[in-house]
Amino acid sequence: NAIKHSTLLEPTQKVLISKHDSPPRSNLPTFSYRDIATATNNFRRESIIGEGGFGPVFKGKLNTNQVVAVKKLNHSGLQGDKEFFVEVHMLSLMRHPNLVNLIGYCSEGEQRLLIYEFMPLGSLEYHLHDITPDMKPLDWDTRMVIASGAAKGLEYLHNHADRPVIYRDLKSANILLGEGFHAKLSDFGLAKFGPIADNTHVSTRVMGTHGYCAPEYAGTGKLTMKSDIYSFGVLLLELITGCRAMDDSHEHGKEMLVDWARPMLKDRMNYVQLADPMLRGKFPESVFRRVVELVLMCVQDDPHARPHMKDIVLALSYFASQKHDSHAAQIGSHGGEGTNGSSVDFDGAQMDVTEIRASNKDQERERAVAEAKKWGETWREKGKQNADDDLDYKSRW
């Protein structure tokens, strides 16, 4: 079943800020309000580089000359002390090349400030949806590098943090880009620790962003790691189509990107119709089809049938290694790059592709997950054979 457009995500309740609130326990440096006001030219409007549910984001320079991004809590905004404390606590526990680095914070009096490393290229949302005439659109290779980096960050949260973390707010606005379009996850105010012991899920208020929210979470409030997998599938679809996850200009019932794309997702022959026109046909068709199939696995209605992040990382690491040949014929309606796209050669291991339809039955769902795992196993085997190979995703960062 498609996600109902009428499903409303409950906004974050505003938490009243009290002078008696205790600052979060963390090993992060604390800054005085005066220091950060100086760094941002007293929070002048000209220093604003973005705005979100937490409040405005300012560019600043510390007295060490380090350039930073400062999130300043808007007391009347959607997020409050609870989200502030969560973000400080989460990011004080975690360090990874694909997570934004929280340098420190300020909780002086009623002030709530988060000080991050500055990401010079801004957000993925900006590069996909707010592009100006003088900007170069993201090419295929760059999109795959971004997808691979975001996947690595999410896989770290799920599998390698001290406690499993469910991100809960994966979207293009929260993917920040550094030099070389190195992707980092940001904004952890909605993150939750995952279930422990014999528990299968975390029950919580439904929060997040329209278009990215998994249908089972939106309907029941039961949050699992697989809720993040659905959101990642939407993000991946957004990357390859250039369309927003939610677009009210679409006809009724197709405002969400997944619902809009479903007719083209039913037939492999229609996959290339999903391609962002800004790509101008410059992408490897066989890899494009594989990415679409990965999207299909991620956005299945049955959360148990969705792949694990570790297999998504391995698959995307391979896809990111398959660079577009600028000398190859551009893909058009006449039929692509001289391949039927029915298989991909993983260093000699030919793998047949079976059409994944929206009306998947249990057997097809199992096959989809098995195929994702096979990608992972193939990639692991390749890594064992040649640890120095430049396709090894661990060595790319």
Which pLDDT score, from 0 to 100, does residue 347 have?
Answer: 37
Phi first, then psi: give them for residue 263, nearest 5 degrees: -55, -35
Pairwise CA distance, residues 3 & 17, whole Å: 36
Q: Is 228:150 a contact under the CB 8 Å cutoff?
A: no
Contacts of 159 (CB under 8 A, 6+ apart): 309, 310
C-alpha–C-alpha distance, residues 193 and 196, integer Å: 9
169 flagged as catalytic: yes
Please provide the CATH number assigned to the domain covering 33-117: 3.30.200.20
Query: Residue 82's beta-bridge partner residues?
Result: none
**Per-residue pLDDT tens digits for 10-41:** 333 333 333 344 555 567 899 999 999 999 99
What pLDDT is attached to residue 343?
A: 38
What's residue 185's pLDDT? 97
- Residue ranges of the domains in the chain? 33-117, 124-395
Among 81, 141, 169, 187, the active-site one is 169
Q: Determine how many CB atoms are found less than 10 A away from the CB of residue 10.
A: 10
- The CATH number corresponding to 124-395 among 3.40.718.10, 1.10.510.10, 1.50.10.10, 1.10.10.10 equals 1.10.510.10
- pLDDT of 328 reads 65
* Tokens 């499993």 belong to residue: 164
CB count within 10 Å of CB 29 equals: 11
Q: Which of 225, 247, 386, 244 is nearest to 298 (CA)?
A: 225
- CA atoms within 13 Å, Cβ hemisphere of 8: 3
Distance of CA 15 to the CA centre of its chain: 27
Q: How far apart are CA 307 and CA 305, in angstroms?
A: 6
Same fold, 33-117 and 124-395: no
Could you tell me the pTM of the whole model? 0.77
pLDDT tens digits for range 291-307: 999 999 999 999 999 99
- Kindly give the parts of the chain with pLDDT less than 50: 1-21, 197-199, 333-364, 386-397
Give the Cβ contact number of residue 252 at 10 Å: 7
pLDDT at 91: 86
Helix (H) / strand (E) element for 350: namely: strand 349-352
Give the per-residue pLDDT at 393: 32
